[in-house]
Structure 1
């Protein structure tokens, strides 16, 4: 396992490919004041994590009522590398700074095979780069944004510790950036409310591009992330769910020994789906 991990030292895994969205970009939500957050700890979901043989936490907030469910109060506040979930703010900053001209903004692949997913090894536009989690695409976007603008944007976003130490093209992969599940949920909440300091159309576009699955009456959006450091694998799925006029922001974070990192790839999606169904955000048939 370790020999395979060494092929891609800056990011270990591709994200699962979401179902392509077939509808036009969603309408921008009003940037009205958010309701006060009222957190409720529900430890009854812990057997789901135990059955999957992972340590983990799930946070889900109703953007309508402010009710926030947390399955592990302590772990919900622990900062970890965001890995590929950082592609969400990276895309927003790239659009806002003019590095990306829009959904069809294309970067040419340089021909270097970096390991990971074979879908990475081709030209990508923003939509396909998000869908296939093309690491090199977003590394180039970050280099073009530059350290000063990146740091300023992350501070303005209140994105985790906003620390870009470790290199402009790897700080979210192996560097100093850390974000907790609660902070991920807050960031996604602000994205949906159009309360981030970027153009509303950029927020609407990126949110739409996160669509994993949808049907009449509901939609499931999210971005996976997976990396390993200090002997531990960390897996993420963060996003938004809309159903019956209510929107929820959610974050799932999983941890396991580094040697089990590849196992987390399907587990993070199945566990997130099960928890979203458990708490009523998704219907039972969603994502099947």
Structure 2
């Protein structure tokens, strides 16, 4: 199977499906649907078997919760107000025994518990004046790719390729970065769904030697500010479940924990669980 991810649209007499084929992560994700839930799930599973995927994820509307639950799928996470103000439940199904097993789950439960004991009244940090915050454009693509390559040995999307970074920008993804001595040392992006008015804050990376100044919190706050200006109030982020630092950043920025995806994607150096964090920007 081709390792390049792609989105396909299937429209039949009784249903419509928007499907993200993700061969690198051996999964298929249904991002949108309409119509007969039984028939569209049958089609989604047909695609799973055809493409030899190990995991299926479906973003389910709250009114269809029981329909997917009784078909044997499991709710792993929820994003408040995802569908133009209505909640989305992320249901999953696994197709191999290995994909359904994970030895880190209890450890990650403890990490979440410890994060909820953190002090949220942390004073705002200001990095030294040699750090410059900017909104990235296509001229930054090569440097962004270099940053992601340095921070992540493996990444679930091809951000190591500058052309892919440019493509995401052309499709509406916003990047903010910190420069230090002319080099990008920290970055994050907001991948915007203009139809449903939500955004995923993602691609968070800071070089190790620059992590003591709270750069990521500042970048995420700037992304939130721009999202609000564009009338987008549903923000969510998916963080590595083993990363205390990134989960702590989101908690201290007043994101709320909304579940965990088991063996969700290949990131950092292996297949990992990912935590869902959600924030209503309209209340802040």
Q: Report the TM range for the smaller structure's normalisation.
A: under 0.3
Q: TM-score, normalised by structure 2?
A: 0.27
- The structure showing larger relative contact order (alpha-carbon pairs under 8 Å, at least 6 residues apart) is 1
Task: Give the number of the structure whose alpha-carbon radius of gyration is greater.
Answer: 2
